[in-house]
């Protein structure tokens, strides 16, 4: 027969049939198999597999492209690769941006040029010339017209540039079909063609093959009898066959009556037995992949007999890698990367990029990239320095950088890099043409030994077992150089600028595909469902079959629209449209599904907490594959074999202790969980079950002796013992940062308050009349605080910091005013500020010294009260005292009582805040700055602290007390500020006692992780702690009165 | 199908609008209509535009269409070819959310507005980052301006420029929802226009307020006269006189008040009076106090009738407004530039750009021609911008709007139910258009519906809310129920729904350790349900134990974890627990959603609906205590979680070894160092920083000489070298792989998953880690470690996510009312009913669409602030809107259950009856809405 048509379900069946044919014919004629690149290897492999013959018979496996090469080589015209084409398009678009109608400047970004280039190739392969395009465009609607005219313009210029100088892939096919016409040698050849995509050009070639060769056998995928599947390719092929004299009935395409056409239908009759196809639903992506791995291991077949088809590979890729690594299953992910995706090329681009867009971040990554040989330690210091001084684009090259003792060493990097950068910049800026740019770039790369650097990185990657990446890196230099050469040969003499050059280079890099073969033969193949082409596998796992991604439909919004393509199709016979592309990917998926003996389909119930539903296609497949159509087959729920998960589930149900313990022991014996952390894990579970398992102590005791201890250290201890350990035991520090921080604000306010206090003490007055003194104090405080009036600190000046400091001065003044007003109305006088406290106490184990500073001590007669300035918005509450987190005030009060024999009557927070008061309310500041804390409920004490209290003004604005004078002096209990002297003494004793207790516990080595309520939330060490905030301590005290009343 | 529904399906030659109650089957009507259009060959699928407001709703709709069409095929095989083609077309049909529709339009007609068609749409993570950087440069630029200094001072910015940053961001966020923000800003900076509208608004408001009070006084007065309460009589007479001073409600009248220094005296009745009189007196006093506070506020705003002053304050404040507009405008410009330079669009752009494109006549014509049928679901959630957008593509007779104004709960996104209400009115008047309402409910038990009717009859009034519930929106066809009661028709109000609807009120003063007695005060007999926790449950801690713990607590706060003092007050969670357990105890059966058969209740039948996520934890804690499985969706910031921070710390260490915290974390996490070892290093090797000590040990330059220590340190040194090698390996990795890949490597090689699983709630930790990884993928900062670290340091907010706790399938769901919209649950518990609404607070700056921007007059020299008409007017308007929104939220909550409904909340003080709109708009909690209507 002249023309044969071979239809098959499984590709393997098709190939087997072809090989049988070939085997029969081999002695008489030359046998040539034309298949897509992807089948090149597998077809040959399959041949040996299925024919079981030891030696090869005489046959050729090739692709259309390689077939063309035979004829092209003679022509001695340079071949224009895709990336060169893309760069050319990029250049053309940049050049004529002003002349374009719609694809103007804004279109000069990622992927655009590749898109245009592909369109041009599409047009060319459908044999549409620029002129024809403009003819076709005439009939289009306005909106599409402009766009296509632009493409036509670019297309025209593209053609003009390559004419007579280069040939591209589309030209190749033309040449092929032209040359075949005159090649009589093929008359003794049997061709076997399997081409899933049949463009007009390829159809032309096929036409020639039919005419000139001895015979042609077309292999066609036979889809399921699902009526929604419609195949454009087959129709085109039938058209071709028909034009060559074949006849067929369009309704029953399976029966061809023509003499010259023989159709062989190679189909597996029982496509799938019921148990060979399984449908699963899984909780999530990870579970899906895990169960695939478990299944592969369970089946015990060879890895190369398994394939995983993923419907949305990018979404799954990381999970696949992670879990396959975990199961130690070798795999090969069939994806391509562009050169642009690789780090070394990115660094290269960044180098050019910082010439016209300098960014410190980029400098850091360049420096860290090892392209220059800098010492690791110095790089660290370099980074710390930049962070410490807030170095940015503006002041990177400034002459007088802040001096910093710590960072002497790294200066070399700073200077060296600056020099390299400046040289490179000048060199680049001198360049005029693409050629010159490339020369400079090449020189630069040679100078810094780019090739060897990549080589050594390859070695590094091998060391850490990254074979695939290493293989990719090996290709970088050659591909890069090839790209440079291509660029030089097509555009070498054209003028350009740095930025344009950068864009063209970037477009080029983005279009160079780079790929590695599988590292071992025996590995699981992983591919994308819509574009991979499977051959034959024992087990096929198709995962991610949820609606929306199975299959992934292209939406109708590419560069050229569906409607526009449809128009063009009728006018210039271009195919396919978006809908047909979608149909193609659907067909491909179904074809792929046919290429296995056992099929496993699954979909995730949720993807990152978004609920999913099974794909309609999956449901259709179910009907298709499962024998009894009406019977609904439920999705199986494959449990991921995560013991712990099931344990957690059990934890809810198990009520009795014994059962739980038995279960725990069972887990204990499982061999997979050998790690040391197993015990820990059981702990977590045990906690959940409220069990007391006798596990070894997780945290050791680390005793520390405290001869001197500050109150704040103890307060931290009561916040969380572990935090105390990290902060004071390990003494971890953050690296200095010289930008203005909230803590500086607090310090400044304290300073101002301190200076005012000193001023009053020095002048032996309790308040000032002249408020101008506030300004002076604030200015002085700024100076001592390393800021001058401009808000400069060190050498870094920022207008924003100035504003903050300016505002700070305002609120400082407002604070001073409030203190002054309070003092006016008080009999208490400031006795000292920042008073140092040293008190020796014994905790029962050893003696320790309490160290600390009191912000302010006020006295009146023999009475003493202390005041602490606070920037936060905390109020005194008993619970905090009881829990040990806020004992400062009372410890100090106790110390003063013991050391100076004064009678303690009050402890307050003075809240520093910036208040703008409402004009219609009481105008004084006092209310907003009212002291917060405790005092004695004694008339004398109260009135001494607020002399303004009287019958008409019973509520104090200074201390937290309301009183009444009606039937003698009384204190209103509703405002919690006043306590009896016994209670006050209890507070003090308690504070000292718990202080001692704390030191004792530290000495015994308690470093437990037990934060107080939300202490974790704001802890700077929580990243070291690793603990949820669920183990919190919580202390709540009963108010005596309340319990009484309840009884 | 009801008559109405059939009419909606069959009418294809006119524009239709449907106001559909909750559970009235609006979506299924819509789907049936579309199927009938397709079946009858009126158009192709590609000629249909169906818009929903979320992506999931659109997939749902597609799915339902496919199902329905396939059903049709099975019914009539002759349609197979035609319908299968349409099913196939559905995949690319325009059944989508509005956002994706906009995206499509932009991709298609990008050249009209000159955007790059290869744009990417960024989520909040990336847009937030861009906003943050744009804001930084705006702040740097404006920092030199004096106005800026004043603004920061007025906003009290002392620590960072936080307040001003927040203001700019929020204002910008608001502007993004305005159709044309430029012209909005222009109007906002027009002094006179704003002043007049705000003043008029305030005067009108004042009038309402006085009239309301007058009425109240009148009412009291009548009662007093009737009962002849001597003392009160004089009082109320005075107040009535006071109210009579106001006729025109002008400034002049206001000025009169200046002469009323102690206006509205209140003389107490003597003791020993009758109870009724005292009661009346109490009520009166309460009303009066409220009134005094309110009136004082109005008077301050009007400067006691001094128009000059009012103007002056307004003008002073206007300077701030002008500057705010300027700086925000600049910020938006910068942000837009950033987006453009990266070729990305955010969600706001999608709508903006689509509108711009649709303004092009050619495009508009083409689209109008393409879409023969347009249907829009959830139309009540449309905002001004979206409605503008739709107006371009909708023809005269091909539209089909469905929605429920009562369920419009996205006011905070500037959704405006008035658009829908207006449209209904319009349709009703137009003979060529059809307005329908679906008043039946196929979801909930009839008694629940009765309850909903009873509540909303009273509170959802036309004058206050724009929706006439009683006459137009009640659930209908409940007659059978009325009839059933004791065999004769009873009034609906008397229907007893105790068995279906329960209300639990927590006593206000919950004492720790004292079991709360839940009871209800002032509730009409038919809702009353007393629920006492003391009944069936034993208190966990007896009084003895408490006393003991009180004694020991002084000296053993930390002593022993096992004896830890952990008490909490009984709260709503406990009541919910009891309610749920009662179903199991009493073995109550419910109807299954799928099988329609009666069966035992399961945990998954219950849902807790809460107003905000804040209270989730309370319920979760309670459920955990009682071993009730629970699942809830939280807002979490991944970066702030300790274990994520640990992992990020390892990255930090890889990026720069010389950092104490990251280094020590890495030593612990991937180096396997114990605390003891770290402590030994810290205290035996000299050096300021911890990292210095480590480097010394690695280099061997440490000075540990004592033999005893040396032995110990040999082990440590060896361990350190292994660790160092590991870090070096990761450094190579970091150079050549993405952050995401690096992280996965670290997690895998160090068995971190197992480690996290070992901790309490380990499963959650692992899920969170996975979520974190998924967030990193495909992000622009994923490429370089430095960029990534820089990013998270400066923009922590980026990692805020929804996170559901991992639990079994059979668990009680906790969700917000907003998230529950459109869903149904067998048993619904609405919590937090007594909590006060979280209304926006008074602030320096407020803004609204109608009244523009209002600011307080802050006088920096003497640090005082004055209210202004604009500020107060906008604030009041906002507050009213928010309260009405809460009412609709309550409606959504109450219409979720199928079988049972429970309401739980704290006790509230009732503010009298809801006689008029004014007091209705003063409601502050769900309970006030509900209980007041009895």
User: Between these two residues, A93 and B496, which has the higher pLDDT value?
Assistant: A93
A611 touches chain B (CB under 8 A): yes
- List the single residue in A106, A376, A556 with the smallest CB-CB distance to B115: A106
Write the CB contacts of A272 (distance below 8 Å, at least 6 apart in sequence): A599, A625
CB proximity under 8 Å: A 2-31 to B:
none
Residue A1029 binned pLDDT confidence (cut-offs 50, 70, 90) = very low
Mean pLDDT of A358-378: 83
Residue A229's pLDDT is what?
Answer: 37
Q: Which residues contact A718 (CB under 8 A, 6 or more apart)?
A: A883, A884, A885, A887, A994, A998, A1012, B557, B558
pLDDT at residue B189, rounded to an integer: 84
Mean pLDDT of A381-385: 85
Instruction: State the DSSP H helix or E strand holding residue A634, giving kind and residue range, or none if neither.
Output: none
Q: Measured between alpha carbons, how far is B56 from B40 in angstroms, rounded to an integer?
A: 28
- Distance from C-alpha of A907 to C-alpha of A885, rounded to nearest angstrom: 16
The predicted structure's pLDDT at residue B479: 52
Higher pLDDT, A232 or A458: A458
Res B557 pLDDT > 50: no
Q: Which of A380-384, A903-907, B165-169, B886-890 has the lowest mean pLDDT?
A: A380-384
Q: Report the gap between the CA of B184 and the closest CA in chain A (Å).
A: 28
- What pLDDT score was predicted for residue A1041? 35
Per-residue pLDDT, A190: 87
Q: Per residue in B443-463, pLDDT tens? A: 888 888 888 888 888 888 888
Closest approach of B70 to chain A, Cα-based (Å):
11
Q: Mean pLDDT lowest for which of A520-534, B680-694, B699-713? A: B699-713
Mean pLDDT across A720-731 = 87
Nearest CA-CA partner of A421 in A361, A367, A343, A344: A367
List the one residue out of A383, A393, A400, A401 whose CA is nearest residue A421: A393
What's the average model confidence in pLDDT over A816-833? 90
Beta carbons of A381 and B658 less than 8 Å apart: yes
pLDDT band at A111 (very low <50, low <70, confident <90, very high): low
Bigger pLDDT: A972 or B878? Answer: B878
Please tell me which residue, A878 or A1027, carries the higher pLDDT value: A878
**Cα angle value A335/A340/A343 (rounded, 5°):** 95
Q: How many CB atoms within 10 Å of residue B234?
A: 12
pLDDT at B353: 92
Assign 3-state DSSP to chain B and report helix, strand, coil percentages, each to 5: 60, 10, 30
- Taking residues B713-731, report their average pLDDT: 90
Residue contact B343–A110, C-beta within 8 A: yes
Residue ranges with strand state E in A572-718: 596-604, 606-607, 610-611, 636-637, 708-710
10 Å Cβ neighbour count for B36? 15
- Tens digits of residue pLDDT in B569-623: 567 887 788 888 888 888 888 887 777 788 888 888 899 999 888 888 888 878 8
Q: pLDDT tens-digit profile of A598-615?
A: 888 888 887 766 677 777
A1025 → closest Cβ in B566, B642, B783: B642
Residue A810 CB coordination number (10 Å): 17
pLDDT band at residue A678, thresholds of 50, 70 and 90? Answer: very low
Nearest to B760 among A466, A730, A1028 (CB): A1028
Strand partners, A838: A851
Lowest mean pLDDT among A87-96, B557-566, B602-611, B908-917: B557-566
- The answer to whether residue A542 scores a pLDDT higher than 50 is yes
Burial class (CB in 10 A: 0-12, 13-18, 19+), A975: middle
Model pLDDT, residue A412 = 80
- Asked if residues A790 and A802 have their Cβ atoms less than 8 Å apart, the reply is yes
Query: What average pLDDT does the segment B772-799 reach?
Result: 80
Segment B801-822 shows an average pLDDT of: 81
- pLDDT > 90: what percent of chain B? 12
> Residue B567 above 50 pLDDT?
no
* Binary contact (A343, B736; C-beta < 8 A): yes
Which has the minimum average pLDDT: A193-202, A309-318, A416-425, A856-865? A193-202
- Say what the pLDDT of residue A798 is: 67
Lowest mean pLDDT among A126-130, A624-628, A938-942, B581-585: A624-628
Could you read off the pLDDT of B486-495 as tens digits, one per residue?
A: 333 334 444 4
The average pLDDT across A892-915 equals: 88
CB B126 within 8 A of CB B81: no
Q: Among candidates B182, B177, B165, B179, which has minimal Cα distance to B131?
A: B165
Strands B825-830 and B897-906, bridge-based pairing = parallel
Residues of A in contact with B659 (CB under 8 A): 734-735
pLDDT beyond 70 at A274? no
Give the pLDDT of residue A233.
62
Chain B residue numbers with beta carbons less than 8 Å from the beta carbon of A361 are 784, 786-787, 790
For range B86-110, the mean pLDDT? 83
Mean pLDDT computed over A896-909: 90
Cα distances (angstroms) measured from residue A507 to each of A109, A117, B32:
9, 11, 50
pLDDT value of position B288: 76
Which residues are bridge partners to B635 per DSSP?
Answer: B802
Rounded to the nearest angstrom, the gap between the alpha carbon of residue A499 and the centroid of all alpha carbons in its chain is: 29
| Alpha carbon B217 to its chain's center | 38
What is the distance between the alpha carbons of residues A117 and B500, in angstroms, rounded to a whole number? Answer: 68
- Digit-coded pLDDT (tens) for A16-75: 778 877 877 777 788 888 888 777 666 666 666 666 554 555 667 888 888 888 887 777
DSSP letter string, B502-550: EEEEE-SSPPTTSPPEE--SS--TTT---EEHHHH---SS-HHHHHHHH
Residue numbers of A between 649 and 678 with CB closer than 8 Å to B: 649, 652, 655, 673, 675, 677-678
Euclidean distance between CA atoms B107 and A580, whole angstroms: 20
Among residues B396, B377, B383, B328, the alpha carbon closest in space to that of B355 is found at B383
Q: Which of A946, A926, A924 is nearest to A935 (CA)?
A: A946
* pLDDT at residue number A370: 80
* Average pLDDT, rounded, for chain B: 79
Question: What average pLDDT score do residues B737-758 get?
Answer: 81
* Residue B870 half-sphere exposure toward CB, CA atoms < 13 A: 33
Mean pLDDT of the region B98-102:
90
Q: Are the C-beta atoms of residues B32 and B449 closer than 8 Å to each other?
A: no
A155 pLDDT higher than 80: yes
User: Is the separation of the CB atoms in A1011 and A1019 below 8 Å?
Assistant: yes
Integer Cα distance of B790 and A600 in angstroms: 44
Angle formed by the axes of helices A434-447 and A498-511, to 10°?
70
Nearest to B761 among A102, A677, A1030 (CB): A1030
The ipTM, to two decimals, is 0.80
Angstrom distance (rounded) from CA A12 to CA A536 = 6
Task: Name the residue in chain B with its Cα closest to that of A682.
Answer: B758
- Chain A residues in contact with B568 by the CB 8 A cut-off are 1034, 1036
- Residue A624: band (very low, low, confident or very high) from pLDDT cuts 50, 70, 90: low
Q: Of B515 and B824, which is predicted with more confidence?
A: B824
d(CA B731, CA B744): 14
Is it the case that residue B347 has pLDDT exceeding 90?
A: no
**In a 3-state reduction of DSSP, which class is residue A952?**
coil
| Position A308 pLDDT exceeds 90 | yes
Instruction: Give the model's confidence band at A846: pLDDT under 50 very low, under 70 low, under 90 confident, else very high.
Output: confident
Q: Residue A671: pLDDT above 70?
A: no
DSSP result, A103-134: S-GGG-STTHHHHHHHHHHHHHHTT--HHHHH
CB contact under 8 A, A101 and B362: no
pLDDT tens for B829-886 read: 999 888 888 888 888 888 988 888 888 888 888 788 888 988 999 999 889 889 999 9
**Percent residues over pLDDT 90 in chain A:** 7
Is residue A395 pLDDT above 80, yes or no? no
Closest Cα partner for B103 from B344, B450, B405, B307? B344
Task: List all residues of chain A from 883 to 942 with a beta carbon under 8 Å from chain B.
Answer: 883-884, 914-920, 923
Which pLDDT belongs to residue B609?
94
Residue of A nearest to B653 (CA): A380
Closest-CA distance of chain A to residue B785, Å? 8
Contacts of B554 in chain A (CB under 8 A): 882, 990, 993-994
CB contact under 8 A, A1007 and B733: no
Instruction: Give every CB contact of residue A790 below 8 A, 6+ residues apart in sequence.
Output: A797, A802
Most A CBs within 10 Å, among B558, B734, B760, to test the A interface:
B558
Report residue A556's pLDDT band, with 50, 70 and 90 as the boundaries: very low
Q: What is the mean pLDDT of residues A468-489?
A: 89
pLDDT of residue B267: 56
**Position B511 confidence tier, pLDDT thresholds 50, 70, 90:** very low
More confident residue, B599 or A880: B599
- Nearest Cα residue in chain B from A226: B84
pLDDT digits (tens, 9 = 90+) for A135-149: 766 655 566 677 778
Q: Quickly state the pLDDT bin for A921 (edges 50, 70, 90).
A: low
Is the confidence at residue B484, as pLDDT, over 60?
A: no
Helices (H), B76-190: 80-90, 98-108, 110-113, 124-142, 146-154, 162-175, 181-188
Contact list in A for residue B754 (CB cut-off 8 A) is 673, 675, 677-678, 681
Cα–Cα distance, A1009 to B192 (Å, whole number) = 62
Phi-psi region of A633 (alpha: psi -120 to 50; beta: other; left: phi over 0): beta
CA–CA dist A23, A42 (Å, integer): 18
């Amino acid at each position: 027969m002249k023309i044969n048509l071979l239809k098959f379900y499984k590709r393997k069946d098709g190939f087997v049939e072809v090989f049988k044919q070939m085997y029969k014919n081999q002695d008489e004629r030359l046998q040539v198999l034309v298949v897509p690149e992807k089948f090149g290897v597998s077809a040959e492999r399959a041949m040996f597999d299925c024919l079981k013959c030891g030696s090869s018979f005489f046959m050729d496996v090739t692709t259309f492209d390689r077939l063309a090469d035979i004829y092209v080589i003679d022509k001695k015209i340079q071949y224009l690769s895709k990336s060169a084409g893309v760069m050319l398009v990029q250049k053309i678009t940049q050049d004529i941006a002003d002349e374009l109608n719609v694809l103007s400047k804004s279109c000069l970004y990622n992927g655009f040029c590749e898109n245009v280039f592909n369109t041009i190739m599409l047009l060319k392969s459908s044999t549409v010339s620029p002129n024809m395009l403009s003819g076709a465009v005439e009939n289009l609607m306005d909106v599409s017209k402009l766009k296509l005219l632009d493409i036509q313009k670019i297309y025209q210029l593209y053609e003009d540039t390559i004419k007579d100088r280069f040939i591209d892939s589309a030209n190749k096919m033309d040449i092929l079909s032209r040359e075949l016409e005159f090649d009589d040698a093929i008359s003794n050849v049997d061709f076997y063609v399997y081409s899933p995509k049949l463009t007009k050009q390829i159809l032309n070639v096929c036409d020639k093959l039919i005419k000139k060769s001895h015979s042609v056998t077309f292999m066609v995928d036979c889809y399921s009898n699902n009526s929604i599947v419609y195949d454009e390719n087959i129709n085109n092929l039938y058209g071709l066959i028909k034009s060559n004299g074949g006849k067929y009935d369009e309704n029953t395409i399976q029966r061809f009556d023509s003499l010259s056409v023989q159709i062989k239908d190679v189909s597996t009759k029982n496509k799938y037995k019921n148990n060979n196809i399984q449908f699963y639903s899984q909780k999530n992506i990870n579970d899906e992949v895990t169960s695939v791995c478990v299944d592969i291991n369970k089946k015990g077949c060879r890895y190369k007999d398994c394939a995983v088809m993923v419907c949305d590979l990018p979404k799954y890729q990381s999970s696949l890698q992670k879990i396959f690594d975990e199961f130690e299953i070798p795999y090969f992910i069939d994806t391509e990367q562009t050169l642009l995706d690789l780090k070394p090329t990115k660094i290269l681009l960044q180098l050019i990029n910082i010439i016209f867009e300098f960014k410190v971040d980029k400098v850091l990554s360049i420096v860290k990239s090892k392209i220059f040989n800098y010492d690791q330690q110095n790089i660290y210091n370099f980074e710390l320095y930049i962070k410490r001084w807030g170095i940015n684009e503006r002041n990177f090259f400034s002459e007088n950088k802040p001096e910093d003792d710590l960072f002497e060493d790294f200066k070399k990097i700073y200077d060296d890099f600056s020099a390299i950068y400046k040289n490179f910049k000048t060199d680049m800026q001198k360049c005029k043409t693409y050629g010159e740019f490339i020369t400079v770039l090449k020189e630069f790369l040679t100078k810094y030994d780019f090739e060897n650097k990549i080589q050594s990185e390859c070695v590094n990657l091998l060391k850490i077992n990254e074979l695939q990446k290493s293989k990719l890196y090996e290709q970088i230099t050659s591909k890069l150089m090839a790209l440079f050469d291509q660029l030089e040969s097509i555009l070498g003499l054209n003028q350009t600028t740095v930025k344009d050059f950068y864009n063209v280079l970037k477009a080029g890099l983005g279009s160079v595909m780079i790929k590695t073969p599988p590292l071992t033969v025996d590995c699981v193949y992983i591919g994308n469902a819509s574009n991979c082409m499977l051959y034959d596998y024992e087990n096929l796992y198709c995962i991610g079959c949820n609606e929306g991604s199975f299959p992934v439909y292209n939406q109708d919004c590419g560069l050229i629209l569906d409607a526009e393509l449809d128009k063009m199709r009728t006018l210039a016979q271009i195919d396919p449209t978006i809908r047909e592309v979608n149909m193609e990917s659907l067909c491909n998926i179904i074809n792929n599904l046919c290429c296995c003996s056992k099929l496993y389909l699954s979909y995730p119930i949720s993807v990152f907490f978004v609920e999913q539903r099974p794909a309609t296609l999956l449901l259709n497949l179910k009907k298709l594959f499962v024998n009894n159509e009406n019977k609904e087959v439920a999705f199986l729920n494959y449990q991921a074999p995560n013991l712990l998960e099931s344990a957690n589930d059990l934890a809810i149900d198990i009520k009795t202790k014994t059962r739980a313990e038995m279960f725990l022991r069972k887990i204990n014996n499982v061999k997979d969980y050998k790690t040391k952390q197993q015990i820990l894990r059981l702990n977590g579970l045990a906690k959940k079950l409220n069990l007391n398992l006798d596990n070894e102590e997780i945290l050791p005791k680390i005793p520390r002796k405290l001869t001197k201890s500050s109150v704040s250290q103890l307060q931290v201890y009561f916040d969380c013992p572990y935090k105390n350990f990290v902060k004071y035991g390990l003494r971890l520090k953050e690296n200095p940062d010289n930008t203005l921080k909230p803590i500086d604000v607090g310090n400044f306010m304290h300073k101002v308050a301190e200076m005012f206090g000193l001023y009053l003490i020095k002048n032996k007055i309790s308040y000032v009349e002249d408020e101008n003194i506030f300004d002076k104090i604030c200015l002085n405080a700024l100076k001592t605080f390393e800021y001058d009036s401009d808000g400069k600190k060190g050498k870094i000046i920022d207008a924003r910091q100035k504003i903050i400091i300016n505002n700070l001065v305002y609120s400082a003044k407002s604070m001073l005013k409030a203190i002054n007003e309070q003092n006016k109305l008080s009999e208490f006088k400031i006795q000292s500020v920042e008073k140092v406290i040293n008190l020796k106490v014994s905790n029962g184990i050893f003696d320790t010294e309490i160290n600390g500073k009191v912000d302010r001590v006020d006295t009146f007669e023999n009475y003493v009260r202390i005041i602490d300035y606070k920037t936060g918005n905390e109020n005194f509450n008993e619970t905090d005292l009881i829990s040990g987190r806020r004992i400062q005030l009372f410890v100090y009060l106790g110390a003063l009582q013991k050391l100076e024999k004064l009678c303690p009557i009050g402890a307050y927070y003075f809240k520093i805040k910036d208040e703008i008061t409402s004009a219609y309310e009481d105008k004084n500041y006092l209310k907003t700055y009212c002291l917060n804390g405790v005092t004695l409920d004694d008339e004398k004490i109260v009135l001494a602290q607020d002399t303004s209290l009287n019958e008409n003004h019973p509520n104090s604005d200074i201390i937290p007390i309301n009183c009444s004078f009606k039937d003698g002096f009384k204190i209103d209990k509703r405002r919690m500020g006043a306590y009896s002297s016994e209670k006050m003494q209890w507070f003090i004793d308690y504070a000292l006692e718990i202080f001692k207790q704390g030191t004792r516990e530290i000495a015994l080595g308690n470093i437990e992780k037990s934060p107080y309520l939300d202490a974790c939330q704001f802890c700077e060490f929580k990243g070291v702690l690793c603990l949820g905030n669920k183990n919190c301590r919580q202390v709540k005290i009963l108010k005596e009165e309340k319990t009484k009343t309840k009884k | 199908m009801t008559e109405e529904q059939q009419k909606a399906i069959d009418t294809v030659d006119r524009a239709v609008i449907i106001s559909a109650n909750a559970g009235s089957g609006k979506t299924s009507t819509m789907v049936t209509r579309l199927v009938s259009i397709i079946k009858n060959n009126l158009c192709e699928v590609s000629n249909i535009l169906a818009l929903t407001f979320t992506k999931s709703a659109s997939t749902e709709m597609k799915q339902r269409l496919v199902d329905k069409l396939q059903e049709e095929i099975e019914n009539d095989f002759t349609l197979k070819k035609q319908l299968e083609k349409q099913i196939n077309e559905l995949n690319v049909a325009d059944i989508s959310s509005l956002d994706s529709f906009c995206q499509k339009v932009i991709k298609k007609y990008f050249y009209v507005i000159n955007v790059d068609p290869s744009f990417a749409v960024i989520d909040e993570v990336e847009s937030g980052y861009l906003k943050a950087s744009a804001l930084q440069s705006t702040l740097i630029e404006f920092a030199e301006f004096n106005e800026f200094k004043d603004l920061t001072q007025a906003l009290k910015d002392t620590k960072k420029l936080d307040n001003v940053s927040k203001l700019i961001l929020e204002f910008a966020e608001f502007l993004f929802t305005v159709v044309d923000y430029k012209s909005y800003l222009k109007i906002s900076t027009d002094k006179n226009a704003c002043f007049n509208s705000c003043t008029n608004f305030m005067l009108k408001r004042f009038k309402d307020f006085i009239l309301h009070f007058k009425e109240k006084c009148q009412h009291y007065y009548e009662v007093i006269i009737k009962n002849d309460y001597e003392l009160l009589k004089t009082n109320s007479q005075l107040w009535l006189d006071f109210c009579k001073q106001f006729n025109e409600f002008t400034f002049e009248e206001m000025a009169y008040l200046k002469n009323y220094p102690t206006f509205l005296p209140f003389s107490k009745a003597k003791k020993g009076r009758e109870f009724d009189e005292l009661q009346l007196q109490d009520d009166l006093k309460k009303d009066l106090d409220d009134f005094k506070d309110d009136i004082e506020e109005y008077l301050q705003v009007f400067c006691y009738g001094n128009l000059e002053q009012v103007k002056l304050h307004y003008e002073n404040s206007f300077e701030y407004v002008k500057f705010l507009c300027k700086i925000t405008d600049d910020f938006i410009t910068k942000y837009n530039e950033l987006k453009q330079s990266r070729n990305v669009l955010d969600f706001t752009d999608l709508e903006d750009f689509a509108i711009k494109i649709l303004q092009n006549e050619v495009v508009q014509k083409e689209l109008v021609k393409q879409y023969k049928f347009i249907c829009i679901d959830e139309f009540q959630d449309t905002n001004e911008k979206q409605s503008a957008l739709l107006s371009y593509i909708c023809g005269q007779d091909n539209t089909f709007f469905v929605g429920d104004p009562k369920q419009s709960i996205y006011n905070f996104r500037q959704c405006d139910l008035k658009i829908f209400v207006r449209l209904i009115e319009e349709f009703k008047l137009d003979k060529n258009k059809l307005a329908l309402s679906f008043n039946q409910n196929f979801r909930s038990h009839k008694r629940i519906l009765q309850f909903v009717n009873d509540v909303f009859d009273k509170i959802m009034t036309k004058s206050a809310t724009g929706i006439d519930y009683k006459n137009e929106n009640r659930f209908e066809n409940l007659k059978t129920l009325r009839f059933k009661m004791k065999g004769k028709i009873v009034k609906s109000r008397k229907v007893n729904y105790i068995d279906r609807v329960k209300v639990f009120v927590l006593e206000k003063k919950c004492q720790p350790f004292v079991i709360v007695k839940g009871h209800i005060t002032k509730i009409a007999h038919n809702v009353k349900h007393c629920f006492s926790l003391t009944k069936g449950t034993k208190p966990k801690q007896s009084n003895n134990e408490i006393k003991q713990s009180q004694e020991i607590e002084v000296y053993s706060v930390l002593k022993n974890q096992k004896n830890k003092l952990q008490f909490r007050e009984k709260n709503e969670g406990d009541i919910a627990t009891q309610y749920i357990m009662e179903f199991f105890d009493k073995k109550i059966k419910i109807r299954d959603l799928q099988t329609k058969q009666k069966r035992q209740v399961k945990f998954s039948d219950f849902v807790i609906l809460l107003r905000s996520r804040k209270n989730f934890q309370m319920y979760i804690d309670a459920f955990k205590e009682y071993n009730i499985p629970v699942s809830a969706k939280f807002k979490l910031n991944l970066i702030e979680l300790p274990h994520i921070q640990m992992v990020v710390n390892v990255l930090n260490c890889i990026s720069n070894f010389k950092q104490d915290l990251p280094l020590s974390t890495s030593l612990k996490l991937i180096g396997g160092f114990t605390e003891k070892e770290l402590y030994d290093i810290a205290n035996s090797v000299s050096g300021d920083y911890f990292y210095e000590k480590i480097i010394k040990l690695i280099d061997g330059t440490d000075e540990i000489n004592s033999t005893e220590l040396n032995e110990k340190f040999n082990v440590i040194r060896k361990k350190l070298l292994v660790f160092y090698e590991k870090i070096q390996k990761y450094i190579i990795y970091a150079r050549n792989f993405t952050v995401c890949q690096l992280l996965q490597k670290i997690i895998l090689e160090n068995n971190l998953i197992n480690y996290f699983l070992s901790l309490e709630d380990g499963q959650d930790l692992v899920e969170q880690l996975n979520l974190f990884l998924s967030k990193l993928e495909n992000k622009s900062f994923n490429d370089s470690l430095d960029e990534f670290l820089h990013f998270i340091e400066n923009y922590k907010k980026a990692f805020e996510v929804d996170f559901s706790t991992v639990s079994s399938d059979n668990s009680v769901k906790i969700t917000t009312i907003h998230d529950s919209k459109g869903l149904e649950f067998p048993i619904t518990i609405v919590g937090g009913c007594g909590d006060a609404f979280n209304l926006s607070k008074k602030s320096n700056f407020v803004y609204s669409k109608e009244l523009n921007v209002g600011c307080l007059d802050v006088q920096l020299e003497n640090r005082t602030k004055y209210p202004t008409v604009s500020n107060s007017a906008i604030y009041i308007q906002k507050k009213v809107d928010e309260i009405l929104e809460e009412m609709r939220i309550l409606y959504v909550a109450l219409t979720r259950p199928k079988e049972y409904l429970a309401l739980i909340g704290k006790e509230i003080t009732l503010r009298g009856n809801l006689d008029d709109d004014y007091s209705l708009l003063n409601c502050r909690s769900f309970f006030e809405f509900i209980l007041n209507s009895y």
